[in-house]
Amino acid sequence: MGIDPDILAPEGWQAALAAFDWQVDIGVTDWVQDDPVNRYDLPERLERPAAPEPARAAPRPPQETPKVDPVELARQAAQGATTLEDLRAALAAFDQCELKKGARNTVFADGNPAARVLVLGEAPGRDEDQEGLPFVGRAGQLLDRMFEAIGLQRQSPDPARALYITNVMPWRPPQNRDPEPEEIAMMRPFVERHIALVDPDVIVTMGNTPCLCLLGQKGILRLRGHWTQALGKPVLPMTHPAYLLRNPAAKREAWADLLSLKARLT
């Protein structure tokens, strides 16, 4: 079939364009082709309709995690201990104090539990953390010499000549920093139970931390040498041996405190 020569003329193009516009206006969507189109033929692959998204449940309001009081947990754990071994196990199982995560050992105590004198220190240092015993470094060696000068030793089988030594904190603070008040409060139930089970005649608090724990006061240079009371026991605050190593001139005052302790025990 040939092309009508009239269409090639300019006026023929205009007529064809006008006819095209008219067909669009009346809704023509397909052009007649040389080959017929069977609209009943199915395509080789049918497109499946997308599955509707499952309905999402309304978000639940966030539930508040019940707050845990570590001091109350410590009190419950300590009160359940009827022996020193029970208390040691309860302290080792207590996980509320962050200091435990960075410590090698739980430093419980050393000495004779039947001793008349209980020495309460601050916290383990590097040597104590490694060995698992209180006062074994340079400060501990000085402590042993100090109390031996008045006839007391931690390993003596005689309660009248023995010492029992423990700390407020059973775990070493990082970089040997001072324990925080919250950490001291957390350990106080264990300290109280420890003292009740040992039942000493006299307590020696060495440094600010044990004074804050038992007496609620700090300022060891003001408190030292003055007898007071805590938990129904006589308490003698003394400067920590580590302080004496840094300030040898203070050993004279420490000797006076030791003589006061000796006089109290006679």
Residue 179 lies in a domain: yes
What's the pLDDT tens digit per position in 191-247?
999 999 999 999 999 999 999 999 999 999 999 999 999 999 999 999 999 999 999
Q: In what order do the strands lie in the sheet with 117-121?
A: 109-111, 163-167, 117-121, 202-206, 233-238, 228-230
pLDDT string in tens for the chain (266-residue length): 455 555 555 556 566 666 666 666 676 666 666 676 666 666 665 566 666 676 676 777 766 666 779 999 999 999 999 999 999 999 999 999 999 999 999 999 999 999 999 999 999 999 999 999 999 999 999 999 999 999 999 999 999 999 999 999 999 999 989 999 999 999 999 999 999 999 999 999 999 999 999 999 999 999 999 999 999 999 999 999 999 999 999 999 999 999 999 999 98
224 within a domain of the structure (yes/no) = yes
Residue 131 lies in a domain: yes
Residue 91: closest CA among 111, 76, 102: 76
Please state the pTM of the whole predicted model: 0.74
Please give the Cα distance from 171 to 179 (Å, whole number). 10
pLDDT for 26? 72
Structural domains counted in the chain: 1
In a domain? residue 151: yes
For residue 61, being part of any structural domain is answered with no
Residue 5 domain-assigned (yes or no): no
The amino acid occupying position 246 is R
Q: Is residue 124 part of a domain?
A: yes
33 belongs to a structural domain: no
> 167: domain CATH number?
3.40.470.10
199: tokens are 């039942």
Quote the domain boundaries for residue 200: 70-265
